[in-house]
Amino acid sequence: MATVELKHISKVFSNAEKKANKNIPAEATHAVSDFNLKIADKEFVVLVGPSGCGKSTTLRMIAGLEEITDGELYIDDVQVNDMEPKDRDIAMVFQNYALYPHMTVFDNIAFPLKLRKTPKEEIKKRVEEVAQILDITEYLKRKPKKLSGGQRQRVAIGRAIVREPKVLLMDEPLSNLDAKLRNQMRAEIIALRDKINTTFVYVTHDQTEAMTLGDRIVIMKDGFIQQVASPQDAFDHPANIFVAGFIGAPAMNFFPAKLERVGDEYYVQVEKLRVKLADEKCAKLAAKNVASQDITLGVRPSHIRVDQGGDELQGTIEVSEMMGTEVHLHVKHNDNVVVIIVPVAGSYEKYSKYLKHDQKVGFSFDGEACHVFDAEGKNLEA
Amino acid sequence: MVRRQNKLSKVLLSIVMILFAIYAAFPIVWMLICSFKQNDYIFAWPPKIIDESFGLRTYVRVLTDPVKLRFFLNSYIVSAAVVVLTLIIGIMAAYAFSRFDFPLKKAVNSIIVSVQAIPQICLLIPYMGIIVALQLFNTYWALILTYLVMTLPYCILMMTGYFNTLSKELDDSVRIDGGSRFRALWGVLVPISTPALVSVGLYTFMTAWNEYLFALVLTQTTNMRTIPIGINLLITEHNYDWSMMMSMSVLGSLPILILFLFFQKYFISGMSSGAIKG
Ligand SMILES: Nc1ncnc2c1ncn2[C@@H]1O[C@H](COP(=O)(O)OP(=O)(O)O)[C@@H](O)[C@H]1O
Ligand SMILES: [Mg+2]
């Protein structure tokens, strides 16, 4: 059993701490504000958000590397605010691996066990087990300098899991790897979950990583949690414009629009295009008694269709990217660029015209695809 | 054509370099030669490289004289103590500068830098006063403490620079793996700082081994003198024992020469790696 609970956790970096770093402005930084989260045993939680949003700081507070300014942190229902990192029974994988360069791979992985005075034979057995899991047995005698990036990352993971910690923390562990290796290691981390009994807290700025790895993802911005949800939920029902734009690639398109209520039905109007929202959405809005108002309308690139006839929005193709099974169009519409994904189904004739520059194109979407956000950016359905 | 020019400039360069090497090596070679001769033959004219007095006799005289051996012992004790203390104190101070923020950090740092800028002769009288007040006059500690003032600033600045190039995640990693900051410093940072430590250690040893002024003033009795003073004591009113001076100089240079040859590899890489950041 290992649960982690953060209650109203905040972190403020004071002036004194910052003077050392000239890149940061002079007043205090609220790196993390009122962070609340309960992580279940063996859950895989991903903290995701743009750089500087406070992910690493949150993780380092859980690890005990950073003092908690305000709030309470519990691991297995024991408050650990003032506990030393070594007493928390957590392990951490760092972005730059932080391997000990003067030790062999074996000694690197054995290090946490040695510090805990584990008997020699036990250390050997455990290190070899871990090396087996991570497929690094043949490198045990090498120094980290002689390993590739992916191998180093495995050693770092090995060192973290060898003593079977209650919680495994990972701070952007894949961001130093090239794209191909990153995908491979991501799959291995998913596989690793089934082999070890640990609660995971994983930090990344990459929404794809978050979506593929997390049971739940915590989307952060400027030190505040924006939404805590399963990946699918965050994708289908983003809490606000920020989450809507951050989750999913290519990013969601936004249009200034009008929401109009007619009885229990809702319509959105963008220029001449008028779309009735799906019944389910209408019901939600009606239940909250949402009135007619100016809104921001969000539609994902894959939910926009081109040249259906009728009242459509008009634009000009600026860029078209052929991706194999689909074409990504960047369409200039008023002052915005709208991204549209056109499936490459059937004959060349059907999509070839979208590969042309300056081609005029009409586009539309239906009521299922619409996400409606109020003036403050909140999802009106939520 | 181009190639020939290259070749020519290479030859010219080599000649110049060889001339410089001769110029730099001549005193050392001369010292070496003289150290094998007897005093009366050193100024013989015309000069001979090897004459009938050539032999190890002077060396035997030095190495069998308890007074001279005491100079060497003193130098070794003082230099070794200075190296050990400089490295221990310097490493810990550098770690603090590299990893922590504390009140007056900048001020303390400037003081350390400025100590180096003060001419040592200006410090002589104040130190004399302090050492006498502490009743350390004519002891090893008189020399060790004053030498630390000369060597610590360089050690702290160099090691702070070097530690700054080592990721803080290494410390974090040790602390999470179950160690303390102390363990992170001595178990991880220090072992991987060997090049910098070797170059700092060599510099420290040389400073202590060669120091003359403070050694002259802060010690009094012959049994507390170090080698540089001991060599100078051979110049008396009536007698300049050149051959003895030369053989003592050779024996005095030997440790530094050996250390340099032994640590050459580290020394060069330490100089350059410390230069990246700092
Ligand atoms: N040691 C520090 N001193 C002062 N400010 C810091 C320190 N560490 C992080 N910050 C600030 O806290 C904020 C959050 O940083 P961080 O948690 O590293 O973001 P992320 O990991 O999401 O990119 C940033 O504005 C950063 O500049
Ligand atoms: Mg970070």
Tell me if B31 is assigned to some domain: no
In this prediction, residues B186-204 reach a mean pLDDT of 93
The nearest alpha carbon in chain B to A96 belongs to B169
In this prediction, residues A195-199 reach a mean pLDDT of 89
Confidence of residue B11 (pLDDT cuts 50, 70, 90): very high
Answer yes or no: is the C-beta of A198 below 6 A from any ligand 1 atom.
no
pLDDT exceeds cutoff 60 at B90: yes
The nearest alpha carbon in chain B to A103 belongs to B188
Residue A236 C-alpha to ligand 2 middle, in angstroms?
27
Whether the CB-CB separation of A59 and A203 falls below 8 Å is answered with: yes
To the nearest whole Å, the CA of B16 is away from the closest chain A CA by: 41
What is d(CA A103, CA A152) in angstroms, rounded to the nearest whole number? Answer: 13
The nearest alpha carbon in chain B to A165 belongs to B177
Inspect the interface and report whether the beta carbons of A102 and B169 lie closer than 8 Å. Answer: no
Beta bridge mates, B240: B235
Of A30, A39, A140, the closest CA to residue A90 belongs to: A39
Residue B242 C-alpha to ligand 2 middle, in angstroms?
68
The total number of structural domains that make up chain B: 1
Provide, rounded to the nearest whole percent, the portion of chain B with pLDDT above 70. Answer: 95
Q: Which residue among A17, A101, A116 sits closest to B178, beta carbon to beta carbon?
A: A116
pLDDT exceeds cutoff 90 at B273: no
Question: In chain A, which residues fall in CATH 2.40.50.140?
Answer: 250-373
Between helices B140-165 and B120-133, what is the axis angle to 10°? Answer: 120
pLDDT exceeds cutoff 80 at B163: yes
Ligand with the closest atom to the CA of A15: 1
Provide, rounded to the nearest whole percent, the portion of chain A with pLDDT above 70. Answer: 96
Tell me if B7 is assigned to some domain: no
CATH fold of A250-373, please? OB fold (Dihydrolipoamide Acetyltransferase, E2P) (2.40.50)
Instruction: Judge whether A224 is closer than 8 Å to chain B, CB to CB.
Output: no
Question: What pLDDT is stored for residue A17 in this prediction?
Answer: 47
Question: In chain A, which residues fall in CATH 3.40.50.300?
Answer: 4-245
Tell me if B132 is assigned to some domain: yes
Of A250, A265, A244, A255, the closest CA to residue A364 belongs to: A255
Question: What pLDDT is stored for residue A277 in this prediction?
Answer: 95
pLDDT exceeds cutoff 60 at A286: yes
Task: Name the CATH superfamily for A4-245.
Answer: P-loop containing nucleotide triphosphate hydrolases (3.40.50.300)
List pLDDT tens digits, range A307-352. 888 888 999 999 988 888 888 999 999 989 999 998 887 667 777 7
To the nearest whole Å, the CA of A129 is away from the closest chain B CA by: 18
The residue among B200 and B269 whose pLDDT is bigger is B200
List pLDDT tens digits, range A81-90. 999 999 999 9
DSSP β-ladder status, A44-48 and A313-322: unpaired
Which domain covers residue B93, as residue numbers?
61-274
The residue among A355 and A338 whose pLDDT is bigger is A338
Task: Write out the residues surrounding ion ligand 2, Cβ under 5 A.
Answer: A 56
Instruction: Judge whether B183 is closer than 8 Å to chain A, CB to CB.
Output: yes
Instruction: Judge whether B104 is closer than 8 Å to chain A, CB to CB.
Output: no
Q: Which residue, chain included where needed, has tokens 């809005």?
A: A285
Inspect the interface and report whether the beta carbons of A85 and B176 lie closer than 8 Å. Answer: yes
Q: With contacts defined as CB-CB under 8 Å, which chain A residues touch B172? A: 60, 63, 65, 85, 92, 94, 98
Inspect the interface and report whether the beta carbons of A86 and B176 lie closer than 8 Å. Answer: yes
Whether the CB-CB separation of A251 and A209 falls below 8 Å is answered with: no
Task: Output the average pLDDT for chain A.
Answer: 92
Question: What pLDDT is stored for residue B272 in this prediction?
Answer: 53
Question: What pLDDT is stored for residue B238 in this prediction?
Answer: 78
What is d(CA A236, CA A225) in angstroms, rounded to the nearest whole number? Answer: 18
Q: With contacts defined as CB-CB under 8 Å, which chain B residues touch A90? A: 176
Inspect the interface and report whether the beta carbons of B188 and A102 lie closer than 8 Å. Answer: yes
- Protein residue closest via CA to atom 5 of ligand 1: A13
pLDDT exceeds cutoff 50 at A21: yes
Provide, rounded to the nearest whole percent, the portion of chain A with pLDDT above 90. Answer: 80
In this prediction, residues B46-60 reach a mean pLDDT of 84
Answer yes or no: is the C-beta of A127 below 6 A from any ligand 1 atom.
no
Q: Is the ipTM of this complex over 0.95?
A: no
Instruction: List CB contacts of A245: < 8 A, sequence separation 6 or more.
Output: A251, A252, A254, A298
Question: What pLDDT is stored for residue B144 in this prediction?
Answer: 97
Tell me if B12 is assigned to some domain: no
In this prediction, residues B92-105 reach a mean pLDDT of 93
Whether the CB-CB separation of A340 and A306 falls below 8 Å is answered with: yes
For A137, other C-beta atoms within 10 Å of its C-beta total 13
Determine if the peptide bond prior to A250 is cis (ω within 30°): yes
Question: What pLDDT is stored for residue A311 in this prediction?
Answer: 86
Answer yes or no: is the C-beta of A51 below 6 A from any ligand 1 atom.
yes
Question: What pLDDT is stored for residue B2 in this prediction?
Answer: 58
Answer yes or no: is the C-beta of A52 below 6 A from any ligand 1 atom.
yes
Task: Output the average pLDDT for chain B.
Answer: 89
Q: With contacts defined as CB-CB under 8 Å, which chain B residues touch A116? A: 178
Answer yes or no: is the C-beta of A172 below 6 A from any ligand 1 atom.
no
pLDDT exceeds cutoff 60 at A113: yes
What is d(CA A264, CA A283) in angstroms, rounded to the nearest whole number? Answer: 7
pLDDT exceeds cutoff 80 at B274: no
List pLDDT tens digits, range A36-65. 999 999 999 999 999 999 999 999 999 999
What is d(CA A35, CA B182) in angstroms, rounded to the nearest whole number? Answer: 32
In this prediction, residues A159-170 reach a mean pLDDT of 95
Of A154, A192, A191, A194, the closest CA to residue A174 belongs to: A154
pLDDT exceeds cutoff 80 at B55: yes
The residue among A71 and B237 whose pLDDT is bigger is A71
Whether the CB-CB separation of A267 and A275 falls below 8 Å is answered with: yes
Q: With contacts defined as CB-CB under 8 Å, which chain A residues touch B105? A: 20
Alpha-helical runs (H) found in chain A = 15-19, 55-63, 105-115, 120-134, 149-161, 179-195, 207-213, 231-236, 241-246, 279-287, 348-352
To the nearest whole Å, the CA of B148 is away from the closest chain A CA by: 28
What is d(CA A261, CA B260) in angstroms, rounded to the nearest whole number? Answer: 87
Inspect the interface and report whether the beta carbons of B176 and A91 lie closer than 8 Å. Answer: yes
Quick one: which atom of ligand 1 is closest to the CA of A23? Answer: 27
Residue B230 C-alpha to ligand 2 middle, in angstroms?
61
Type of residue found at A324: G
Answer yes or no: is the C-beta of A191 below 6 A from any ligand 1 atom.
no
